[in-house]
Copies of this chain bind each other. A is one copy, B any other.
């Protein structure tokens, strides 16, 4: 790391900040020869002002470079035009898509979004809800991962509107928040598919048991009975967890012939490790993930996955939140669910198992 200090023209640089006087609405009023109330009307299009004086004021504002002080406005009108977005980790899976979608939607409505990472940590998730008032924010979009038990209580107690992006948990029906998620268990789609292509020893490779538990439930529920040796609970949702899962399954005397991975990262880890181990996908073992991120199309074999509609879900969650803010919290709480879509790729294609040829 090379560090180079800037030397020239520095006096100037520092003085700039210290000197420059902030121009206020009063300065504008004085210059324009009107009252401050009038200037306020000019900037807010609140009417009750003649077109002529409005034009004049606007021009003077332009000249003087006046910018209304947002804190003062917020103090007065009691809203900040900001919402908070709390996600587990901006670096993971489809979360960038979600963050993007929320930001774009918010921007269209004149809102900014402050970004918070909870690390999927139960305490952090509670903390965010508890302190959302301190946050200087008109509403909160939260994508829980840990789902601490008291989360719903806390949300119900909060006075700021909350919108929940919900993957992987069936939420208490009377949570006082809009919640958007998926209509059917995405895991169910995976299991049905694997069964349909004739796999009989289907394994589950996942995150900790208590996280995104619905995905594991889908596994249990799709099977007459689960063979515990075919279930691998990892530490997280990472590539490495996939690698370890692959090693684990490979170590079994009787390997599975299909693996349902909790997400694409894990699926990719598995496929990758299997390639090193000489296990053929999908001939020996089919693998299916969830998330449908770009990378499933880049591995070889390409990996089947379920699209969980992150962008759409996030956009709607944002719109519902903003609507609720606009309505001052009134209105029925909405539950909206998108339909996940299975995309079949090479990793789980039906293989014709040829019996030894006769001719």
Give which listed residue, B5, B114, B330, contacts A334 with CB less than 8 A: B5
Known: A112-B135, A176-B13, A339-B1. A103 touches B75 (CB 8 A): no
Known: A74-B71, A295-B298, A336-B4. A116 touches B134 (CB 8 A): no
Alpha-carbon distance A154/B276, docked complex (angstroms): 53
Specify which chain B residues have a CB less than 8 angstroms from the CB of A136 in the assembled complex.
Answer: 70-71, 74, 80, 82, 112
Does A113 sit within 8 A of B, measured CB to CB? Answer: yes
Within 8 A of B (CB), among A28-82: 67-72, 74-75, 80, 82
Assess whether B159 is in contact with A336, with CB atoms less than 8 Å apart: no
Assess whether A100 is in contact with B90, with CB atoms less than 8 Å apart: yes
Give which listed residue, B14, B91, B113, contacts A115 with CB less than 8 A: B113
Specify which chain B residues have a CB less than 8 angstroms from the CB of A90 in the assembled complex.
Answer: 90, 96, 99-100, 103
Give which listed residue, B1, B70, B97, B295, contacts A134 with CB less than 8 A: B70
Assess whether B330 is in contact with A239, with CB atoms less than 8 Å apart: no
Known: A7-B332, A14-B330, A136-B82. A115 touches B115 (CB 8 A): yes
Specify which chain B residues have a CB less than 8 angstroms from the CB of A16 in the assembled complex.
Answer: 159, 176, 329
In the complex, how many residues of chain A place their beta carbon closer than 8 angstroms to a beta carbon of chain B?
Answer: 75
Question: Interface SS of chain A: helix, strand, loop or mixed?
Answer: mixed
Assess whether B298 is in contact with A329, with CB atoms less than 8 Å apart: no
29 contacting pairs across A/B (C-beta < 8 A)? A1-B338, A2-B337, A3-B334, A5-B332, A5-B333, A5-B334, A14-B330, A14-B331, A16-B176, A16-B329, A17-B328, A17-B329, A70-B135, A70-B136, A72-B75, A74-B136, A82-B114, A85-B115, A90-B99, A91-B96, A91-B100, A99-B115, A103-B117, A104-B117, A239-B298, A268-B298, A295-B295, A295-B298, A299-B299
Interface residues of A (CB under 8 A from B): 1-10, 13-14, 16-18, 20, 67-72, 74-75, 80, 82, 85, 89-91, 95-97, 99-100, 103-104, 112-117, 133-136, 159, 161, 173-174, 176, 183, 239, 268, 272, 275, 294-295, 297-300, 328-339
